[in-house]
Amino acid sequence: MIVLDHVEKIYRSPKHGDVVALEDIRLEIRRGEIFGIVGHSGAGKSTLLRLLNGLEKPTSGRVTVNGITISESSERELREVRKKIGMIFQHFHLLWSRTVWENVAFPLELAGKSKKEIREKVDTLLERVGLAHRANAYPSQLSGGQKQRVGIARALANDPVLLLCDEATSALDPETTASILELLKEIHRDTGITMVIITHEMSVVKRLCQRMAVMEDGKIVEQGNVETLFNNPRHPVTRQFVESLITEKAESEQHTALLRIHADKLDRLWSHLAARVKQGVTATILPDAAEQDDRVALKISGPKEAVQDAVEAISEENREVISHV
Ligand SMILES: Nc1ncnc2c1ncn2[C@@H]1O[C@H](COP(=O)(O)OP(=O)(O)OP(=O)(O)O)[C@@H](O)[C@H]1O
Ligand SMILES: [Mg+2]
């Protein structure tokens, strides 16, 4: 579906000197797969994506998408190719003076579709992304997740064969991110569209992608099966990303309970806590609340089940526990 063959991209600037944004990129993305590209800021991810729809031309090397050599196409050919490539962005890039409905209609108008075709298509797409009830709203009246749903509907308007996503969930909170990823997954399942997902969040890759590439300083430093790379990351940058996921996950699963308890009963609960240290439970006496009415505030943190377990054991033995948070 996509082949990048020895691709190099240099941004030339007489003022600031040359920037080598991509160096010897060799990459193949298969039809119908969801391919992830991760890398730190400035690694060259967006540049790579812009080569795929011809917004940038490589300095050398060849870019082929769906059998067409993008790197050698004329502007006129590229306009045709771009109709079959949808793109969604971190900051949505919606038209603020147009309603939701009109935003989705826009690419269809550009493609010269009839009024009837446009009406049917936009209605179907808004239904698909769960925004039919907001058709007449303006982007400024929508939440971030809803704005991205408009972006997705618009990207799908001309039935693309390829969807490019540049940090599509980076401006969204975790819950909204999850719902957008779910929507992308459903769309992939229903249409079999090829997707290229750029992200700096490994959790996005994990939830969505089958294969991935890791970029650093304009180069692909590692690529392969997502599961393989997660289980056996070889390059330090890949390792760093995989570890970031573990921290991300651990933080999201961290649970805290706050107990108030008589100071002279503290001795008795240490045994309950000590027994759970191995499971990652930690306990702290909160200094500012200490010794109020002979009671202290105790914060217990750790994996949810272990914390709940500890709290239960303590509460059973200590009727003096007066509050849980
Ligand atoms: N139009 C441009 N002109 C000059 N240099 C550019 C241009 N676009 C990008 N660059 C440079 O090319 C390199 C790669 O940039 P790119 O935007 O592809 O990185 P990225 O991986 O998408 O980063 P981010 O995660 O911050 O979006 C950077 O050093 C950047 O400064
Ligand atoms: Mg970028």
The 3-state secondary structure of 204-217 reads: HHHHHCCEEEEEEC
Range of the domain at 194: 2-84+160-232
**Which tens digit of pLDDT belongs to each residue from 286-295?**
765 545 567 7
**Which tens digit of pLDDT belongs to each residue from 239-263?**
999 988 877 666 666 777 888 777 7
- Residues 207 and 271 grouped into a single domain: no
Q: Ligand 1: does its nearest atom lie under 6 Å from the Cβ of 19?
A: yes
State the closest ligand 1 atom to the C-alpha of 16, by its place in the atom list counted from 1: 4
Whole-number Å distance between alpha carbons of 248 and 242: 10
Q: Is pLDDT of 209 > 50?
A: yes
Whole-number Å distance between alpha carbons of 271 and 293: 24
Relative to the alpha carbon of 41, which ligand is closest?
1
Q: What is the mean pLDDT of residues 14-18?
A: 89
- Residues 169 and 215 grouped into a single domain: yes
Q: Is pLDDT of 183 > 50?
A: yes
Q: Ligand 1: does its nearest atom lie under 6 Å from the Cβ of 138?
A: no
Using the mean position of ligand 1's atoms as its centre, give its distance from the Cα of residue 47 in Å. 6
Position 251 scores a pLDDT of: 63
Confidence of residue 189 (pLDDT cuts 50, 70, 90): very high
Question: In this structure, are strands 60-65 and 162-166 parallel, antiparallel, or unpaired?
Answer: unpaired
Q: Ligand 1: does its nearest atom lie under 6 Å from the Cβ of 45?
A: yes
Using the mean position of ligand 1's atoms as its centre, give its distance from the Cα of residue 18 in Å. 12
Whole-number Å distance between alpha carbons of 235 and 43: 15
- Residues 213 and 307 grouped into a single domain: no
- Residues 226 and 272 grouped into a single domain: no
* C-beta of residue 301 within 8 angstroms of C-beta of residue 255: yes
Instruction: Report residue 250 as tokens.
Output: 């651990």
Q: Which of 177, 197, 232 represents a domain boundary (last residue)? A: 232
Position 260 scores a pLDDT of: 78
Position 324 scores a pLDDT of: 56
Q: Ligand 1: does its nearest atom lie under 6 Å from the Cβ of 21?
A: yes
Q: What is the mean pLDDT of residues 215-239?
A: 95
**Which tens digit of pLDDT belongs to each residue from 99-149?**
999 999 999 999 999 999 999 999 999 999 999 999 999 999 999 999 999
Mutate which of 8, 9, 10, 11 for ligand 1 pocket (most atoms within 8 A of beta carbon): 11
Q: Ligand 1: does its nearest atom lie under 6 Å from the Cβ of 158?
A: no
Position 291 scores a pLDDT of: 53
Position 325 scores a pLDDT of: 47
Using the mean position of ligand 1's atoms as its centre, give its distance from the Cα of residue 13 in Å. 13
Position 244 scores a pLDDT of: 84
- Residues 57 and 175 grouped into a single domain: yes
CATH code, 16: 3.40.50.300
In a domain, 291, yes or no: yes
Position 11 scores a pLDDT of: 95
Q: Is pLDDT of 275 > 70?
A: yes
Q: Is 39 left (phi over 0), alpha (psi -120 to 50) or beta?
A: left
* C-beta of residue 241 within 8 angstroms of C-beta of residue 39: no
Say which range, 42-56, 83-97, 227-241, 292-306, has the weakest mean pLDDT: 292-306
In a domain, 118, yes or no: no
Q: Ligand 1: does its nearest atom lie under 6 Å from the Cβ of 16?
A: no
Torsion angles phi and psi, residue 130, rounded to 5: 75, 35
Q: Is pLDDT of 5 > 60?
A: yes
- Residues 15 and 75 grouped into a single domain: yes
Q: Which residue has the higher pLDDT, 280 or 3?
A: 3
Is this structure's pTM higher than 0.95? no
In a domain, 269, yes or no: yes
- Residues 198 and 302 grouped into a single domain: no
**Which tens digit of pLDDT belongs to each residue from 53-97?**
999 999 999 999 999 999 999 999 998 888 899 999 999 999 999
State the closest ligand 1 atom to the C-alpha of 200, by its place in the atom list counted from 1: 25
Look at ligand 1, atom 27, and give the residue with the nearest C-alpha: 41
Relative to the alpha carbon of 166, which ligand is closest?
2
**Which tens digit of pLDDT belongs to each residue from 137-148?**
999 999 999 999
- The tally of domains found in the chain comes to 2
In a domain, 108, yes or no: no
Q: Ligand 1: does its nearest atom lie under 6 Å from the Cβ of 44?
A: yes
- Residues 291 and 172 grouped into a single domain: no
Q: Specify the residue for token string 């996005």.
A: 204
